[in-house]
C-alpha cells in the first residue's frame, strides 16, 4: 500500500475569513480532516497543501505534514481541486515519491470519519474504480423541480406533474468531503470524476455544505445531532 492524503487548504477565503482554521466546536475545522485521515491508518503520508503559514502551523500541530507551500497559481480563486492535486503529485515525483492511490480530503468537512474513508477505499480497490467519493440523496425529488421565467413558474420536467415522490428514482449529489483517486488514471486524465467512478451513500445528517456563516451554524448543530445519534445507537 502506498497512499497519500492531500488536504487542500488555501488561505484566501472571503465569505468566511480564515475558514479552514476557524474553530468548529472547540478546534480548528481542518483538524477533523487531519485526525480522520490519521486514525484510518490508510496513508503513508497525510499532507496539507496551503499557501498560508498560519494554516501550515496548525496542520503540523495536528499531525499533518506540510513539505512545501502551494504555488500562487493554485492559490487563487480560479484554481480547481484537480490542479492542486496535480501540483502536489508533481512535487512528490520530483523527490522520487510515487503513490498508488490518492485521497483528496476537504479541510472543511468535519463529518468525515476514518470508517467512511476505509469504506470508500475498499470500494475503489475491489471495483477497480478511477475514483470513489461520498454522495447523498437529494431531499426532494429533482424530477419535480421548478423553474422561473418572467415571474412565471413551470416544471422542468412536466411529465412528472402527477408523479408520486415514492415512484421516482432517487438522485444523488456530491457531498463535498473527499475523493479517493487511482493515481495512474488521475495523472492521465486530471479528473476527480470519470465514467468509471463509484460512490458510497451517506445520510443527510452526515453532511453539510459550509459556504456561509449560516451554513457553519447548521453544520455545528448537525454535528452534535450526529454525535447524539451515534451514541444512542451504540448503547
- Sequence ranges of the domains in the chain: 3-137+172-233
Count of residues in the chain: 235
Block means of pLDDT (10 residues each) for the chain, 235 residues, are 93 88 97 98 97 96 96 86 96 93 97 97 98 96 94 94 90 96 96 97 94 95 87 66
The pLDDT score that the predictor gives to residue 226 is 87
Q: Note whether 110 and 32 are within 8 A (CB).
A: yes
The pLDDT score that the predictor gives to residue 77 is 80
Provide φ and ψ at 6, rounded to 5°. Answer: -115, 120
Q: Give ∠ CA 39-211-154 in degrees, rounded to 5.
A: 125
pTM for this structure? 0.93
Grid look-up 419535480 returns 144
92-148 pLDDT per residue, tens: 999 899 999 999 999 999 999 999 999 999 999 999 999 999 999 999 999 999 999
Task: Give Cβ neighbours of residue 106 (< 8 Å, ≥ 6 apart).
Answer: 7, 8, 33, 112, 176, 177, 178
The pLDDT score that the predictor gives to residue 234 is 66
SS3 state at 135:
strand
Q: Which CATH class is domain 3-137+172-233?
A: alpha beta
Provide φ and ψ at 2, rounded to 5°. Answer: -135, 90
The pLDDT score that the predictor gives to residue 107 is 97
Provide φ and ψ at 166, rounded to 5°. Answer: -70, -15
User: What is the C-alpha R_g of the chain?
Assistant: 19
Grid look-up 488555501 returns 10
The pLDDT score that the predictor gives to residue 78 is 82
The pLDDT score that the predictor gives to residue 216 is 96
Amino acid at each position: 500500500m502506498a497512499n497519500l492524503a492531500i488536504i487542500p487548504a488555501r488561505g484566501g477565503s472571503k465569505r468566511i475569513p480564515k475558514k479552514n482554521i476557524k474553530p468548529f466546536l472547540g478546534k480548528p475545522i481542518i483538524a477533523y480532516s487531519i485526525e480522520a485521515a490519521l486514525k484510518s491508518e490508510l496513508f503513508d503520508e497525510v499532507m496539507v497543501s496551503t499557501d498560508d503559514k498560519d494554516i501550515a502551523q496548525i496542520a503540523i500541530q495536528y499531525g499533518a505534514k506540510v513539505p512545501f507551500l502551494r504555488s500562487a497559481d493554485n492559490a487563487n480563486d480560479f484554481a480547481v481541486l484537480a490542479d492542486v492535486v496535480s501540483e502536489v503529485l508533481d512535487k512528490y515525483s520530483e523527490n522520487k515519491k510515487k503513490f498508488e492511490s490518492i485521497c483528496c480530503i476537504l479541510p472543511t468537512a468535519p463529518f468525515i470519519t476514518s470508517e467512511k474513508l476505509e469504506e470508500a477505499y475498499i470500494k475503489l480497490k475491489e471495483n477497480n474504480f478511477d475514483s470513489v467519493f461520498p454522495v447523498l440523496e437529494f431531499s426532494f425529488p429533482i424530477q419535480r423541480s421548478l423553474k422561473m421565467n418572467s415571474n412565471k413558474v413551470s416544471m422542468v420536467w412536466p411529465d412528472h406533474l402527477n408523479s408520486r415522490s415514492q415512484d421516482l428514482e432517487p438522485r444523488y449529489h456530491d457531498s463535498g468531503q473527499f475523493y479517493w483517486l487511482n493515481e495512474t488514471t488521475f495523472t492521465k486524465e486530471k479528473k476527480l470524476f470519470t465514467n468509471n467512478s463509484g460512490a458510497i451513500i451517506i445520510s443527510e445528517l452526515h453532511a453539510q455544505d459550509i459556504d456561509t456563516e449560516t451554513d457553519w451554524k447548521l453544520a455545528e448543530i448537525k454535528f452534535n445531532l450526529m454525535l447524539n445519534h451515534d451514541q444512542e445507537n451504540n448503547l
